[in-house]
Chain A
Amino acid sequence: MSSPPEGDHPAIEIRDLAKRYGEVRALSGIDLTIRRGQFFGLLGPNGAGKTTTIHILTGLVTFSDGEVRVLGNDVVAEYRLTRRRIGLAPQEFNFDRFFPVREILILQAGYYGIPRKEAGRRADALLERFGLTSKADDKIWKLSGGMKRRLLIAKAMIHEPEILILDEPTAGVDVELRRALWSYLRKLNAEGKTILLTTHYIEEAEELCEEVAIIDRGRIVAQGSPDALVQAGGERHLEIRLTEPPLVLPDAVTSRDHFVDGDRVVIGSAHPRQIVAEVLNGLYAGGLKITEVRIKESSLEEVFVQLTGRTIEMAPEALPAGDTDATGAPEEELHEV
């Protein structure tokens, strides 16, 4: 078994990955390379294969074919090396309900070989960072949905992994917490952490990710920066309506890809916002009067529809929104025998 490579290995390398459940093909030949320090998004509807892919990375799902490496090490043959370098925040809450919040973090650190004293120090720091210090000695059922979501991320980070994998981290959280989590994740990424995020929120992918892979029915149908995907796959133009059909158009229009339809002039451009001033000045100078200006820029959503022929359906939410669902089975109801 090789030692952990320190060279130029990407954070995550997936080659020709396939997963079959009997006759059903959950993944059909996924290829993916995620660089160290990258903020990468896997975008797709429920059932597309996002969670299957990240569970293969963490060893929760076996795969049928292909090769998966984390920082140069094989996730099956060298699982001890790969697993300690990944932190996973799953989509569903999974807390050890027999122990209080701080102890949950300490146990989690222990599983990764961190001595108890150091684990306690890290747990306190993370509880502070996530605003959970006052809940340190509470059992999990006393926490609200938002608090649990924060604790889930703290749990994934307690062993200070180089790669943080977040499965739908903002599913069902309220807008305020979503913004706070985004800002925190951006900060972590700026500090050098590689982040792989799955989401079916287009806005989340556009907001956070340097690079996005759109996954649908077990295949990657497009990959690139959100901007590049929108430019490559989407339609962008500037549309201007005049008081009457123009006889002559200025160079600012004619030098570009354009067409005229009565009093409507449409100018194609990869960056329509950047040409607005020039085009409007040209039209004014030619004595033309403008009644309406529209900038058309495709969103990632439209790119997705274009690529897959359908919209990303909103999933049933994993947890109620807001911080108000502090419910749970009381301790006495533990099924112990």
Chain B
Amino acid sequence: MRYSREWAIGFWTLTRREVGRFLTLWRQTVFPPILSALLYILIFGEALGSRIQLIDGWPYTEYILPGLAMMGVLTSAYANSSSSLFVAKHEEYINDVLIAPLSYWEVVLAYTLGAMVRGLIVGILILGVGIVVIDLPVLHPWTALAFLIVVSALLSCAGLVMALWAESWDHVMLLLNFVITPLVFLGGVFYSIHMLPPVWRTVSMVNPIFYMINGLRYGVLGVADASPGWSLALSATLAALLFAWTVHLFRVGYKLKS
């Protein structure tokens, strides 16, 4: 059966709904991570930055900014898809989507795209703040964009899986609070792993978020602790696998259908 215009409208409607939802709540969804990034720039730039040596040839504030942007992308994409789907499931209006003539991959892709748009807006705005406030260069913009897209897709899917599994808000936030946030802080946002003792350097290499921060830092500053190509391949593979798994969970109706 050929893909019809009718289905495309259905898919587009859900995508637009997902974007529209967080835009109507922009004070809660878009603004806070930008404010946090500005505070980091202020504290590290004005108060502490001058006491810290250059890292890989960059002043400290410039060095940490790509990591801050990635932190915003990770948490925003995750928060968007997980909270949107969890509320829809909890209040049963996800059923409106499940009984509509939408395929499962269309539903997952629409939720993913909605969260990706939020992640991208936050990431680009934080980098934009860096460009305006501290004259941050973006040396490899396409690489930077590729990392923003792939990472926001990956975290969107992670948010969907957690929202499917979750039976309370506690469950929704579990992965963010106890896994993602610690891995972000241990993934080299505030330091280069070359500054760590060898053991901790090796431990950092198994943290997938290290490669995401590393990749965006390469895109922005042109410096990296690990191969940017490898980092992108790893992130993209994880995103593709998680997307496929999420579609599978929707298809079998995991915690959606009885």
- A residues with a Cβ closer than 8 A to B are 1, 21, 55, 58-62, 79-81, 83-84, 86, 88, 90, 92, 94-99, 107-108, 110-115, 155, 334-337
Contact = CB atoms under 8 A, between A and B. Distances in A.
Interface in B95-154: 95-103
Given A108-B96, A110-B9, A113-B4, A335 B169 contact: yes
A143 to B, nearest CB: 14
Nearest to B104: A79
A113 B87 contact: no
B81 to A, nearest CB: 11
Interface of B: 1, 4-10, 12-14, 16-17, 20-22, 24-25, 28-29, 79, 82-83, 87-88, 91-93, 95-103, 169, 172-173, 176, 253, 257-258
Contact of A113 (B7, B22, B28): B7
A196 B66 CA distance: 57
A23 B174 CA distance: 33
A92 B92 CA distance: 9
B180 to A, nearest CB: 12
A145 to B, nearest CB: 16
A325 B144 CA distance: 52
A80 B95 contact: no
A168 B4 CA distance: 34
Contact of A60 (B4, B98, B102): B98
27 contacts: A21-B258, A55-B258, A59-B257, A61-B258, A62-B257, A62-B258, A80-B101, A83-B99, A88-B99, A95-B93, A97-B87, A97-B93, A110-B14, A110-B17, A111-B13, A112-B100, A112-B101, A113-B7, A113-B8, A335-B169, A336-B28, A336-B29, A337-B28, A337-B82, A337-B172, A337-B173, A337-B176
Given A61-B257, A80-B101, 19 more contacts: A60-B95, A62-B253, A80-B1, A90-B92, A94-B93, A94-B96, A98-B20, A99-B17, A99-B20, A110-B12, A110-B16, A111-B96, A113-B7, A113-B9, A335-B83, A336-B28, A337-B28, A337-B79, A337-B83
A55 B83 CA distance: 25
B14 A111 contact: yes
A219 to B, nearest CB: 19
**Residue in A58, A107, A111, A334 with the greatest tally of chain B CB atoms within 10 Å:** A111
A336 B25 contact: yes
Given A92-B92, A94-B91, A83 B100 contact: yes
A110 to B, nearest CB: 3
A294 B95 CA distance: 51
A147 B257 CA distance: 28
B88 A96 contact: yes
Nearest to A106: B13
A79 B257 CA distance: 15
B9 to A, nearest CB: 5
Nearest to A119: B13
Given A90-B92, A96-B88, A111 B1 contact: no
Contacts of B92: 90, 92, 94
A23 to B, nearest CB: 15
A113 B21 CA distance: 20
Nearest to A80: B101
Contacts of A94: 91-93, 95-96
A61 B20 CA distance: 29
A51 B215 CA distance: 51
Contacts of B258: 21, 55, 61-62
A60 B250 CA distance: 11
Contacts of B172: 337
A88 B92 CA distance: 13
**Residue in B7, B13, B28, B103 with the greatest tally of chain A CB atoms within 10 Å:** B13
A218 to B, nearest CB: 14
Nearest to A57: B99
Contact of A80 (B20, B82, B103): B103
Contacts of A88: 99
Nearest to A26: B258
Contacts of A111: 10, 13-14, 96-97, 100-102
B9 A114 contact: yes
B97 A334 contact: no
A81 B98 CA distance: 14
B13 A110 contact: yes
A73 B253 CA distance: 21
A235 to B, nearest CB: 40
A115 B7 CA distance: 11
A306 to B, nearest CB: 32
Nearest to A84: B101
Contacts of B99: 58-60, 83, 86, 88
Nearest to A86: B99
Given A335-B83, A335-B87, A336-B83, A79 B25 contact: no
A161 to B, nearest CB: 11
A108 B100 CA distance: 9
